A and B are shown apart, each in its own frame.
Chain A
Amino acid sequence: MHRSVAALIEDAREHQLSLPEVVIRSEMAESGRPREEIRERIARTLAVMRGAIEEGLQGDMRSPSGLTGGRAARLHAHGPRLLGETVTAILARAVGTLEVNAAMGLIVAAPTAGAAGVLPAILASASDILDADDERLVDAMLVAGGVGGVIAHRASLAGAAGGCQAETGSAAAMGAAAVTWLGGGTHDQVSTSIALSLQGMLGLICDPIGGLVEIPCIYRNASAAMQALAAAEMALAGLDFPVPADEVIDVMGEVGRKMPVAYRETAQGGLAATPSARRLVQIQPTRSPSGISR
């Protein structure tokens, strides 16, 4: 995997290759696996993402804690009032995937289980808008994977190490790059979309109620997916950002290292430590999700 976004792009320019091609060649060289095997495995991964979205929107599942389940279906049924079809669908898909995750459903931890809703939501919606076929989506996932590799090297993908910015923030950067590439963005625009998405996630703490990957995670996935889409839109329009992607990633790593341990997936601070959260996790698990007003 590449150690910087700059190196990824440099590789593409120097050898006149697309970004997905750079990433797959690097993976072929490092893993020794043939091209088709890698693409096929990504396609299977994509199928799991779609399955989770489908299951999430049906809304039948509940997490063992009772904290989540059914919210994505509610949003989906409610439909758009303010945001339009696209963004509303992204929110419902991100929330739904995380609800499936919480209910011990099958998901893709891309890059982590806690951020598993972001990339599927963006890819599913981008394929609707841009009418992208599966081959193009596999390419887009390669771009996302390449960016995730850079972040894993330079900063972190783990909430315990760098807070939520390392999980949903990284997922947003991966998703922004994927969809900017899908939208026909230049190398520089892809790079800008990474910087733009991640700068908006900097400092985000990981403070899950009861230490469970549920609340606020399902909503953080939704907002990260929106952040990614907004960054891609702005990058495709030619808006720039003065700090390059690699430096923004480095800042994310630095903020994570300096983040107090209470805000790094320990459930000792933030939302997890509020009186309401503490009351909530004392409640016996039920079959009915809390937090949904009827």
Chain B
Amino acid sequence: MIGLFDILGPVMVGPSSSHTAGACRLGLIARAILGRTPEHATIQLHGSFAATGEGHGTQRAIVGGLLGLPPDDLRLRRAFEEAEHSGMEYAFRTVDLGEDVHPNTAVLEVRSGDERLTIQGTSIGGGQVEVSRIDDFPVSLGGDYDTLVLAAHDRPGTIATISSVFAESGVNLATMRVDRTGRHKEALMTIELDAPISDQALERIRSFDWVIWARTIEKIA
């Protein structure tokens, strides 16, 4: 539902809500899932992102997002210098994901130490984004909720267990999506919440032996 501040806003660094603000949000989401600033990022740009990214500051915006700069932070202008300062290396590539893929799409491969992560995300307009893939899992998340993403061994009862943790900590679930690579293989749960999840609840979830990893993504204003 559209609100007053979707009309009178957002306040953002220009020039484009889709190619700059949305691109920045994709970087922010990749960073949030990784849990820290990446040491290295390979950024693949598809379609209009590749064709007009340079003039729209798309590359700077994604790098800025990976560094944790929000869409209204003027440091996005000199995101490359900020990256050098933070010691984050990055590389850009042009990619053709096919005609069926939205023109404002990027694939971000980020790594820090032994941790690696690949996300595919699209800037769908007005600064809104949708992440459609995390590693090999199809997902759908926009970063406009506090979100828990967890990879798990696919076993019966896991959803009920997770739900009970939220029920105990009094956090309301907005949406929940489970995707898996195959029967009884790995599953990825994407859970959008109406409030941030507490550290205790997160630790509890991480303690289950079927949880491979769990990360929270703070709501991006």
Please give the residue numbers on chain A whose beta carbons come within 8 Å of chain B beta carbons, in ascending order.
1, 23, 27, 30-31, 38, 41-42, 44-45, 48, 63-65, 67, 100-114, 116, 141-142, 144-145, 148-149, 152-153, 157-158, 160, 174, 210-214, 267, 285
Contacts and interface: CB of A to CB of B under 8 A. Distances in A.
Contacts of A67: 55
A132 B12 CA distance: 26
Interface string B8-37: 111111111100110000000000000000
Interface residues of B, number: 34
B2 interface: yes
Contacts of A112: 17, 126
Q: Interface SS of chain A: helix, strand, loop or mixed?
A: helix
Contact of A101 (B2, B15, B48, B77): B15
A45 B11 contact: yes
Contacts of B91: none
Contact of A106 (B1, B13, B56, B60): B13
Contacts of B11: 44-45, 48, 106-109
Contact of B127 (A42, A109, A210): A109
A149 B2 contact: yes
B55 A63 contact: yes
Contacts, number: 125
Nearest to B59: A64
A104 B59 CA distance: 12
A112 B126 CA distance: 7
A228 B9 CA distance: 19
A230 B181 CA distance: 60
Highest count of chain A CB atoms <10 Å: which of B5, B21, B127:
B5
A110 B51 CA distance: 26
B4 A212 contact: no
